Structure 1
Amino acid sequence: MARCTFLRQVKEIKNWQNVVFLNQTWLNANHTVDCSWTDDAAASTSKVVGKGSRLIICHAGTINGFVKGSLMAFASKTTGDYHEEMHGEKFTEWFTSMLCSLPEPSIIIMDNAHSMQIDKPPAQSQKKTDIVAWLQKNGVDANINMLKAELVLLLKENKPTKIRYVIDEIASEHGHRVIRLPPYHYEYNAIVLVWAQIKGYAARRNTEPPFTTTKMLKILEEACEHVTTGDWEQVVNRTVKLIREDYERDVKIDNILENDLIINVFDDSSDDSENSSMDESD
């Protein structure tokens, strides 16, 4: 349903000049090509061990290129999931700054990563005190003396039907609109194809030590400069084509299911002929 909602919203876009794609990714300091040609006179790409330190990256772009001044990149301090260091507060600060670089009202296509919810309800697994506090805050008659099962039922009955995000409200205040990508459908985000181009460029340039995040940051900035308007136009057009094709496919499938298509497995002429021959033989 999330995919259906997204496709229906996006297919109505008339002017793709003002559509912004944003996403987060990473680059390891040891990111390089897996192998390369060499001869007796020249060394190939230096052998590196492990992934090395990690550079966490966030950027935004349109069919006209990257949004000016919107690149954020910093060295990771942990080896775990990079999403943990790109927390909600940091992402919201970057997002607000990025909005100021948009020349006119735009549509922003993004996923739900790092987006803080407004008045997020507690999970059923949380303590009774947390559930009671949220229920009372939202005008529901609840107290700590109630059983957990009773509180969970009240929580289910009073959860908001629509999730609200902090950055969506910020975008709206600046005259922009956010459209959320459906889960697991990164192919609808054009900047993912740009990341592939940037990582390929970085791998081909990262051939000699030292393999550090400082060096990788310089390569990253250079790689972003080499992404042309033509590159962006190509990936956006490809994404738009995919979105329209997927929506039309869903419509066709829906029509087929609605038309009560019935296939009689006993109507095949070849089977009848074969059965007749077997009967004669018997």
Structure 2
Amino acid sequence: MNYENYERWLKTQLLPNLPPNSVVVVDNASYHNKQYNLAPISNAKKADMQAWLTEKGIMYDKAYLKPQLYNLIKANKDRFKTFSINQILVENKHQILRLPPYHPDLNPIEMAWSTIKQYVASKNVTWNLNKCTELIKEKVAQMGEREWQILCQKVKNIEEEYAKSDHVVDMMTEQFIIHVDEESSENDTDSDGANDDSTDACSPEPGPSTSKRLCTIEGVHPL
């Protein structure tokens, strides 16, 4: 699958069959994430940078050089990031909801696909492609509205469990914050100095500070 094929399917198959004011749920597949009206990159023409900033209503000095213009773009581009499929759906008066990345457990489609794969694996002992396709269609036909409701409810239950544990995550991450102070730095320096073998292999790095050491390892040449 690529963006071109997905866009064709979206326009010719999905949109004509969507009820008005629908919400389309998508995951984070790469073909869902093609950006619309990309911000200029660092080697873009100066006029293109100025045009993008003007279009977005971002003030800039006409005397700015390209590096200054690009810094403005970098500081603001995330506010204007949108995706091509979002634009298509909004133009057709639909909404889009993106699932959080790396959370297949919050996606009922992933659960449905898992059920289908288990069904195919339990029935297909020859792993013939035509037989696989036949079994997939067979299982999809068996999965009705009731089964979909069960999967959606399961996702809601998982969401609620995540919400209940948010405070625990905050507490645990606070406990694992490591504070580096001057005393710990001195201890590290003393322990480095106590190891004669390591000092033979390392020489002080050039510069005002000698706390860092530049080590030469066989086969690796320092820059």
**What TM-score do you get using the length of structure 2 for normalisation?**
0.60
With over 3 angstroms needed to count, the CA separation of the structure-2 counterparts of 1:134 and 1:183, relative to structure 1, is: farther
Determine which structure has the larger strand proportion and give its number. 1
Q: Match of 1:14?
A: none
Q: In the TM superposition, what whole-angstrom CA distance separates every residue of 1:45-79 from its partner, at most 9, and x where no partner exists? A: xxxxxxxxxxxxxxxxxxxxxxxxxxxxxxxxxxx
Give distance in 1, aligned partners of 2:115 and 2:28.
Answer: 24
| Distance in 1 (alpha carbons) for counterparts of 2:115 and 2:24 | 22
Aligned pair in 2 of structure 1 residues 156, 242: CA closer, same or farther (>3 Å)?
Answer: same
Higher relative contact order (CA 8 A, sep 6+): 1
Matched, 1:195 2:109: no
Cα distance between partner residues in 1 of 2:169 and 2:120: 44
1-side partners of 2:79 and 2:141: how far apart? Answer: 43
1:93 lines up with 2:93 in the alignment: no
Q: In the alignment, what sits opposite 1:205?
A: 123
CA distance in 1, matches of 2:17, 2:121: 30
Which residue of 2 is the match for residue 172 of structure 1?
90
Contact 2:99 2:106 in 1 (8 A): yes
**1:83-232 aligned within 5 A:** 86-96=1-11, 97-113=13-29, 114-115=31-32, 116-122=34-40, 128=43, 130=44, 132=46, 134-139=48-53, 149-150=67-68, 152-208=70-126, 211-212=128-129, 214-232=130-148
Correspondence for 1:247: 163
Unaligned runs of 5+ in 1: 1-85, 258-282
AA of the residue aligned to 1:92: E
- CA apart distance, 1:183: 1.8
The CA deviation string for residues 158-186 of structure 1, in whole angstroms up to 9 with x for no partner, is 42514212211222233321111222122
* C-alpha deviation, 1:138, in angstroms: 1.0
Which amino acid is the alignment partner of residue 117 of structure 1? Answer: Q
Residue 236 (structure 1) shift: 0.5
Write out aligned runs for 1:16-35 (5 A).
Answer: none
**Aligned amino acid, residue 111 of structure 2:** L
Secondary structure at the aligned position of 1:108 is classed as strand
Retained in 2: the 8 A contact 1:109–1:180?
yes
In structure 2, distance between residues paired with 1:192 and 1:255: 28
Residue identity in the other structure for 1:226 = Q
Map Cα deviations across residues 70-116 of structure 1 (whole Å, 9 max, x no partner). Answer: xxxxxxxxxxxxxxxx2112112222321322234322222232122
* Aligned residues between the structures: 163
CA distance in 2, matches of 1:131, 1:240: 48
In 2, distance between residues paired with 1:150 and 1:156? 10
> What displacement does 1:233 show?
1.3
Q: CA RMSD in A?
A: 3.3
Question: Based on CA coordinates, which of the two structures has the bigger radius of gyration?
Answer: 2
Per-residue deviation, 1:120: 1.5
- Asked if 2 retains the 8 angstrom alpha-carbon contact of 1:131 and 1:151, the reply is no
1:194 partner amino acid = A
Cα distance change, pair 139–162 in 1 and its aligned pair in 2 (3 A): closer
Q: Normalised by the size of structure 1, how large is the TM-score?
A: 0.48
SS in 2 for 1:138: helix
Question: How has the CA–CA distance of structure 1 residues 167 and 225 changed in structure 2, closer, same or farther, with 3 Å as cutoff?
Answer: same
1:224–1:153: structure 2 CA closer, same or farther, 3 Å change rule?
A: same
